[in-house]
Amino acid sequence: MRDVYLLGLGQTEVGEHWEVSLRQLALTAIDSALKDASIEMTGRGPVPEALFVGNMLAPQLSRQAHLGALIADFSGLRGIEAATVEASGASGGAAFRQACLAIASGYIDSALAVGVEKLTDTVGPGVSGAASTSTDTDWEGAQGATPTAIAALIMRRYLHETGAALPDFAGFSVNAHANAKTNPNAMFRNSLTAEVFAKASMVADPVNMFDTAPDADGAAAVLLVAADSLGKLELKLSHAPVRVAGAAIATDTVALHDRPDPLFFRAANLSAGRAYEQAGIGPNEVNVFELHDAFTVFAALSLEACGFAARGEGWQLATQGGIGLKGRIPISTFGGLKARGNPGGATGIYQIVEVARQLRGDAGANQAPNPHWGMAQCLGSSGGTAATHILERVS
């Protein structure tokens, strides 16, 4: 298996892009990634040779499927291999994983992984109904259980088991908003205090308005290249490439009631463990972690599943200052899903871009102190799928 490097990073601002089409968002991110790479192929084949698109709800909300070919055509890449990858909220991470596999196997030398989503063109029950297709529709969605309602069930049980209270989770959202203030691509760049968090109205008790991430539109892209093909490229990079050191996807039951323990993110634990093994490191060596904070309880459970906290103690990192840029394990360094915004199937690629920027040392005011290892993990629904990637700074 060949080493895979990230050479180009691109993203659009996350927000409500009513006036911009799905394909135009993707093109903007792709152009940004290729410009960031500043490469010209001198050997065989084009750059990129393949395109993998992560998307969650375009067929339902944008009335558009077949995104691989559509975006390849619109981006001037007509003729290359292209496909859409869907894994609910883990779609972006799954697309990145497919690009890594294609290059590491030796089948191709370069690929684009793109995540794109438009969630704000439809409002109200239309969005909730579409999002519910990521649940077990026979047993959950058909009964009216939305992803938010399922998160509320998980959080209520978590509070019962641990003795924590809702205000104890404020630190996750406060940290996310503090980091988003200096991220020009974030949806919400306003401050949030623990006092305001505690007074927020309920969305699905005990999940409140500041406890959950906002639906958003956006696109992000990364250009990946095989390490042994770098000699074919004329590089004009102002930074060292970032290596994909570990990559894994794991699954769990989609239905919450089928899990032996609803407070254990098994897929997150399995995929992180496999990625750690590939990278040859453990959680103590990870310097920055972009996790799937669609809900604050998901942040706590992800920290536990990935080895950063003991079972039932993930929430304590939010109260002890352990998740800030200079904390034990910086998370949501550009605002996370909570404040950067949650563009569905694009989220996983945004996380990859953010971790890579940290490792390259070009995160600006959002820079964590001298990171060498970074991890990104995105989740499908309430953890039915987890895609985990560990990146390493190349010296």
* pTM score: 0.97
Q: Is residue 9 classed exposed, middle or buried when 0-12, 13-18 and 19+ CB atoms within 10 A define those classes?
A: buried
Alpha-carbon radius of gyration of the chain: 19
Mean pLDDT for 132-139 is: 94
| Sign of the dihedral defined by the CA atoms of residues 93, 89, 366, 271, in that order | negative
What's the pLDDT score for residue 218?
98
What's the pLDDT score for residue 26?
98
Mean pLDDT for 243-248 is: 98
- For residue 95, give the amino acid letter: A
Q: Do 219 and 29 meet the contact criterion of CB atoms below 8 Å apart?
A: yes
Length of the chain: 395
What SS3 class is residue 53? Answer: strand
> Euclidean distance between the first and final Cα of the chain, in Å?
21
pLDDT category of residue 235 using cuts at 50, 70 and 90: low
What's the pLDDT score for residue 39?
64
Kindly report the backbone phi and psi dihedral angles of residue 115, in degrees, each rounded to the nearest multiple of 5, phi listed first: -115, 135
Q: Taking the domains of the chain in order of start, what are their residue ranges?
A: 4-122+215-235
CA-closest candidate to residue 351, choices 154, 64, 44, 91: 91
Alpha carbon 392 to its chain centroid, in Å, reads: 17
Residue 42 above 90 pLDDT?
no
What's the pLDDT score for residue 232?
73
Mean pLDDT for the chain? 94
Residue 234 above 80 pLDDT?
no
The mean-pLDDT minimum among 139-143, 178-182, 348-352 falls in 139-143
Residue 61 above 70 pLDDT?
yes
pLDDT category of residue 356 using cuts at 50, 70 and 90: very high
What's the pLDDT score for residue 47?
80
Residue 328 above 70 pLDDT?
yes
The more confident residue out of 269 and 127 is 269
The superfamily (CATH) of domain 4-122+215-235 is Thiolase/Chalcone synthase (3.40.47.10)
